[in-house]
Structure 1
């Protein structure tokens, strides 16, 4: 039996279609229901479905009045506030193509994106770093647009470009992942395949508004089915999350494993009487953390696997819990295979996780590297670059990356990008980067380098501070006489963590 999960494709996306219209489809029938609560220490700021749609469509009107046209790319440089999803959906509603980015990116990093995509405008909070651009629409103006008359949804082909997100490519250069409007239609497969989400749910996501994990799981998916989204306001401490979850009657809680890990480090008991279960994605969930959460809260954690190119498509759920060490199984409607050099491998054998090219959630292409996107296709399968093994019942065990991609707090980081930033230092001759586990379930990015002498760590941290986003910056630096290499002289990144342990002992 071959490692192929195929129970038939999902229902086709309707046409004409608009991503934002689909997200807001309950705004008329549930006009006064709370769509969003921004949770703070002194209460919550609520947005009804009616108010949310009004702000989004007013923003769409304002963007068109600024001279933007359907198909124009707009770079988003906004902070961790409700302004982010309103501007994002406002742009999509009228056919613009937003590019959400982390507010942690530096001027230099945004300059590369601007050169790469040549956006028509930048939606910007002046407090967020950004390289110069002739047309910057500032936050004050964006907020003012919300009171304008509502725009009409720009309906069209569900396969047309809707938004772009950036991810690190295996080459180390961030790739612009182009997604179609139909991507939101594909996310319906997560509702039962991962979330078990219902209109009565109050889903709290611990992430920032301007993180794509939060945009999808924390906001758009609950709104699509008429549920209520709960988002802690910027600056909320992880230690305060249990109280907020209880106070605001959260029924589902979503976060990266690092958040669950820090919550488990609390000394105070956690009582979450309304919580049905938790959702975990962004990096691999360890069995120890899973069991600790279950023992502490009495609720299950359901894990999902995905990527920027296709969001999450393998997961455990209340209907299909993971078995043993398995991650879960492909969501209903997904077609997934485990591939070897000659195609799908027998069940139980390790190979590369791949998803069918016709999956409605799969990206259109890499805007800046279409040949690289096509190179990842093998017949009808898109190669994820992650290894796994599929059991006869479809359960998939995750085996790790087949490259050296690192993970920092749920963000995937290419070692090549980190190495490229440090290699320009005048006193570094060679550099390698790797994720190193410093304690159980906790890893940091470490830079290993050679040069005439050991350099001051504080000086190196300052050196990369304007070249890499905070989450990409190494937390430690190790000077070595030589870096480990293979027979062909290629750097052996996977051997690097052992040298960190050796120097720490």
Structure 2
């Protein structure tokens, strides 16, 4: 076995908790900071005990290895414990966003065939959607944590399914991305080459737990090395982050670029001691060069960018071993097999400087097992031995990646990939809408929002707010358009297909 590949028998939860709970049971693993000042702390020993209790309890309830457990909860410690508890039992965890509407949640439950749903906070499911699934509320989860624990983590294979993450695809419905236990092993190159993470670190992540960026960088990676993870569950005030960095002695801070910009605008960076902070990390959106310069000028701390996607671990980055080049997310991390392929023809890697499809070799341990029950879409993203996610890019002579756009129309909204088909499907159901196209609309030099471009039914008055409210009732907040533009006609190809890339241009005409 090379260090690049995990052992044949490998359990991701054991990898993150088992050895640390034995070697340092009293060390703080997780700090949950509430908006009211209340703080919850879990040691590695406590987390290990609760996770194995949840695992044993889920199995006793009749769940079998491979069954899906959907997590529909807010930003709380139990989210993490149920997630790792499912993995510890050999079940498949399905993290979901509390922003999902009941209808969106019902689709995930039905499509995944979830056998159980962990439910807390303001999240709910409609009684008609429950079926014969187990629904575990806060009291049930509390009992599971106290259940006599499994003697050991499940003896899973590295390729056994562990996590099912839903992401926007090229159809009107989200698609499930199925990952194996080995995916967590596949994150190892980023620990040194992007995060610079070790057991002495305190990682403060600004995201919510339902996001793979937070579950990965905010919790999984710190736990994999025995570090401390700090998360925040209070009002989303950008001014709070400098205070949290200082109060908790964060050595690494992770967020999306737009939040760094808000911190610079609204946060009191000089009023708090950031002496322990070594650097910031960012992903989910491209990092504008002016923001990079502004952050480094204001804090004296470097900012390291990375590129990843739902189908594969973060695999390109700058970091302690890779100097930052403004405008580029960095280089492939050591051990990664990354190439640029021609858009058509044989999948032979192109030389430096040529633009093509960004690809990752299928031997990458962080690569997904596949799309859940979507073999046709799965076939479309593999070309020979390479996985192509749809990004157009080039690699320069020094190995740095430079983006040249996307080969498809997927949008980036607050770091989430959003399918225009899904948003269009909702808007098209409104009685005043005759035709609709959805695309990103640039509202500032470095900010784009999801925009609906609408042709109204004859005799209908334009009412942007009514259409936005219609979407808010039917879509998660991050999927909702922020703008509506009214057009007389939509730009189309000779074959009648809407030209989404021309929609902003048509609205400006």
Tell whether the 8 Å contact from 1:485 to 1:492 is kept in structure 2 after alignment: yes
- 1:207 and 1:267 mapped to 2: Cα distance? 17
**Residue in 1 that maps onto 2:218:** 218
**Residue in 2 that maps onto 1:167:** 167
1:364-390 Cα deviation digits (max 9, x unpaired): 011120231122111110011001111
Secondary structure of the equivalent of 1:114? helix
**Residue in 2 that maps onto 1:149:** 148
TM score, norm. by length of structure 1 = 0.94
Q: Which has the higher contact order (CA 8 A, sep 6+)?
A: 1
Tell whether the 8 Å contact from 1:314 to 1:331 is kept in structure 2 after alignment: yes
- 2:481 and 2:380 mapped to 1: Cα distance? 31
**Residue in 2 that maps onto 1:481:** 488
**Residue in 2 that maps onto 1:428:** 433
- 1:195 and 1:253 mapped to 2: Cα distance? 10
- Displaced runs of 4 or more, over 6 A: none
CA drift at 1:392: 2.4
Tell whether the 8 Å contact from 2:486 to 2:507 is kept in structure 1 after alignment: no
**Residue in 2 that maps onto 1:3:** none
**Residue in 1 that maps onto 2:12:** 19
Distance 1:467 1:170, change over 3 A: same
Tell whether the 8 Å contact from 2:491 to 2:503 is kept in structure 1 after alignment: yes
- 1:263 and 1:411 mapped to 2: Cα distance? 20
CA drift at 1:480: 1.1
Tell whether the 8 Å contact from 2:242 to 2:268 is kept in structure 1 after alignment: no
- 1:125 and 1:501 mapped to 2: Cα distance? 45
CA drift at 1:391: 1.6
- 1:402 and 1:437 mapped to 2: Cα distance? 18
**Residue in 1 that maps onto 2:119:** 124
- 2:315 and 2:482 mapped to 1: Cα distance? 32
CA drift at 1:289: 0.8
**Residue in 2 that maps onto 1:459:** 466
Secondary structure of the equivalent of 2:157? coil
- 1:283 and 1:376 mapped to 2: Cα distance? 22
Tell whether the 8 Å contact from 2:296 to 2:302 is kept in structure 1 after alignment: yes
- 1:247 and 1:101 mapped to 2: Cα distance? 30
**Residue in 2 that maps onto 1:52:** 47
CA drift at 1:42: 2.8
Q: Could you tell which deviates more after superposition, 453-462 or 305-314?
A: 453-462
CA drift at 1:127: 2.1
Tell whether the 8 Å contact from 1:126 to 1:138 is kept in structure 2 after alignment: no
* Structure 1 residue 494 corresponds to structure 2 residue 494: no
- 1:188 and 1:111 mapped to 2: Cα distance? 35
Secondary structure of the equivalent of 1:265? helix
Q: How many residues align?
A: 495
Which 5+ residue runs of structure 2 have no aligned equivalent?
Answer: none
CA drift at 1:9: 7.7
Tell whether the 8 Å contact from 1:80 to 1:234 is kept in structure 2 after alignment: no
* Structure 1 residue 190 corresponds to structure 2 residue 183: no
Secondary structure of the equivalent of 2:207? coil
Equivalent of 2:318 in 313, 316, 320:
316
- 2:324 and 2:406 mapped to 1: Cα distance? 20
1:266-311 Cα deviation digits (max 9, x unpaired): 2634452111001100111111111111111111111111110002
- 1:424 and 1:408 mapped to 2: Cα distance? 22
CA drift at 1:207: 0.5
**What is the root-mean-square deviation of aligned Cα atoms in Å?**
1.7
Distance 1:454 1:314, change over 3 A: farther
- 1:12 and 1:267 mapped to 2: Cα distance? 42
CA drift at 1:500: 4.6
- 2:490 and 2:2 mapped to 1: Cα distance? 48
Distance 1:370 1:10, change over 3 A: farther
**Residue in 2 that maps onto 1:347:** 352
- 1:373 and 1:130 mapped to 2: Cα distance? 30
Which 5+ residue runs of structure 1 have no aligned equivalent?
Answer: 1-7
Tell whether the 8 Å contact from 2:4 to 2:365 is kept in structure 1 after alignment: no
CA drift at 1:416: 1.0
CA drift at 1:499: 4.3
**Residue in 2 that maps onto 1:358:** 363
Secondary structure of the equivalent of 1:477? strand
Tell whether the 8 Å contact from 2:76 to 2:233 is kept in structure 1 after alignment: yes
Correspondence list, 1:309-458, <5 A: 309-340=311-342, 341-342=344-345, 343-451=348-456, 452=458, 453-458=460-465
CA drift at 1:190: 0.8
Secondary structure of the equivalent of 1:28? helix
**Residue in 2 that maps onto 1:264:** 264
**Residue in 2 that maps onto 1:5:** none
CA drift at 1:501: 4.7
- 1:95 and 1:368 mapped to 2: Cα distance? 20
Tell whether the 8 Å contact from 1:281 to 1:305 is kept in structure 2 after alignment: yes
- 2:9 and 2:503 mapped to 1: Cα distance? 52
**Residue in 1 that maps onto 2:69:** 74
Secondary structure of the equivalent of 2:260? helix
Secondary structure of the equivalent of 2:322? coil
TM score, norm. by length of structure 2 = 0.94
Tell whether the 8 Å contact from 1:9 to 1:333 is kept in structure 2 after alignment: no
